[in-house]
Amino acid sequence: MKIIKIYSNKNFKNIKFYDNFNAIIASIQSKEKKDTHNLGKTSLIRVIDFLLLASIDKNKHKLFRNDIFIGQNFYGEFKLNNGKFLIIKRSIDTPTKISFKLNNLKLNDFLTNITWDIEDSPLKKAKEQLNEYLSFDILNNWSYRKSITYYLRSQQDYLDVFKLNKFKGKDKDWKPFVFDLLGFNGELIKEKLEFEEVIDELRKKLNILKIEAQVDTTEKDRLEGLLEIKVNESDEIKKFIDEFNFYKTDLEINKEIVEEVDFQIQTLNTDRYRISFEIDKIDKSLSDILDDIEVEKIEELFNEVDLFFPEQLKRKYDDLINFQKLLTIERKSFLKENLIGLNHEYTQIDDEIKELENKKSSLLSVLIQKDSYQKLKEYQKTLTKIEVKIERVKDKLRTIDNSIIIEEKIEKNKEFVNKKIENLKSAIKERKHSLISKIFNSIIKSILDSNALISLNINKRGNIEYNADYHNKSDLLKTSEAQGTTYKKLLCVAFDLSTLINYSQNSFYKFVYHDGVLEGLDDRIKGRYIKLIKSICKKYDLQYILTLIDSDIPKDNPEIIDENEICLKLNDKDNNGKLFLNSF
């Protein structure tokens, strides 16, 4: 796939791209301004990405924050790998409605009056449709949107060769894809990371169980022994109560008390003790919950002891606090709701017990032996307390059993993770990325006369790490951090080109857009760079789009970029020199 045209119905410098090497040159012509910002050489990446159906945040995207774009339609003509030409239309006013037109021949002009094959398709369906039009025969597990990010590199995407600025999520959002791109099986990484996510979720559940129930799985044997003791005590007291001797004259009344009223009171007392215990436990949980943790105080403490509180650590800590606050809100709401219900239930049971106690007292008033009744009453109270303790121990044992099940699941998933790690180690030994690494080194060698390599390794946590660096790094990075950043750009460029060259015989992207890569390079390196790019484009039939300012053209060879290789010229003389023909 190559880019043929990018154009619009208004306020835009329409562009025809050349088949191989393309230069977009910005120049300073106004005496009042001294930079090339806002001319549009970087914004063009956003327009191309927009036409290739990038998801858009209207509150952040530049194209949606200015009224001059109202009513603006963008068009892109692309040459597909089957030789046909695809026109895509996407509007600023309705960015979720996409139109397509497939032609056998490319357009002669920047046409907007088109009879569309597919018109106003919803964005999700349009992405699926474009995926079919592109018909890539590699990376079939991934949408074209995942790979396009490497071939539209803005200035922010030179910070890391593999993890682009666009990939701000978890490892699973980019590491499996890069593994596939390098020739391996990305499912190995994806499956490992998914097992680890399951483990994390299980650990959260386990921690909640331990906090709420305040138990430790190592206490199971001790609690089972305690349960046996309490059950024995309960059985002995029940036996005594069952065998309690009353006079025959009181037998009928005593039977009614023991079998009816006492049973009801005993049952209600057990429930009341249980509910009281639950209420106390919830009250304690609510009092133990910390509603707020002030990051500023932590930062102030770091300052007092003269320690540096890194912004990255602060952000991670903030994320942790936000998660903790969310968990706290959910817990407090759940606990308070339970507390209201328990208090209501406790009041009802308490009233019933009082009523039954009054009934019991009136029945027992006819009994001759008051001392026997008092003794019976003490035994019944003791029995109720023991039964409540038995229920508490059983609850803890049930929680421990659940915790043990979760721990077993964690261990089982750890085994799966370890197997995946071993599979990754075995895969790396196959060095399926060797050809890409070889091309990568040849590019760097041609430009800088220094070797560079792509390497993979498994870190201590069993995660794959991608490395792209110079073999003799110290020879290149002696002068300044800025120069180090410049050489980092070349590693990114070499990686993008090496993957395109590696897959040049496949149905895949045939273009790459690099923004401002020549900035800060020595003129001799710039010359070698441009010559190499041109030869690569010709040899592998690739399209290369380079943005630069006119001062970045090598002074000793100003003709190195031919006039018929410049697809777009930008300047700050007036609005006509800017991409969007406007200042904003």
3-class DSSP string for 150-170: HHEECHHHHCCCCCCCCCCCC
Q: How far is 185 from 128, CA to CA, in rounded Å?
A: 23
**pLDDT for the residue numbered 234:** 81
Which secondary structure element, helix H or strand E, spans residue 391, and what is its range?
Answer: helix 370-429
Strand ranges inside 239-368, DSSP E: none
DSSP 8-class letter at 260: I
pTM of the model: 0.70
**pLDDT for the residue numbered 475:** 52
573 closest CA partner among 563, 583, 565, 564? 583
458 closest CA partner among 432, 420, 495? 420
Contact (Cβ atoms closer than 8 angstroms) between residue 380 and residue 268: no
The residue assigned the tokens 């490319």 is 106
Structure tokens belonging to residue 178: 């890069």
∠ at Cα 90 (88, 91), nearest 5°?
Answer: 155
| 426 HSE (CA, 13 A, CB side) | 8
- pLDDT profile of the chain (584 residues), mean per 10: 96 96 89 62 92 84 74 96 97 95 95 96 96 95 92 90 78 92 94 90 81 68 79 79 51 58 82 83 75 60 58 62 69 80 87 83 57 69 83 79 83 90 93 95 93 92 91 52 71 96 97 93 94 97 96 91 95 89 79
Enumerate the β-bridge partners of residue 26: 549, 570
Domains of the chain by residue range: 1-138+511-584, 140-151+159-184+430-502, 216-398
Sign of CA dihedral 278, 283, 288, 291: positive
**pLDDT for the residue numbered 132:** 95
**pLDDT for the residue numbered 426:** 94
65 closest CA partner among 48, 49, 46? 46
Q: How far is 413 from 396, CA to CA, in rounded Å?
A: 25
**Around Cβ 183, how many Cβ atoms within 10 Å?**
18
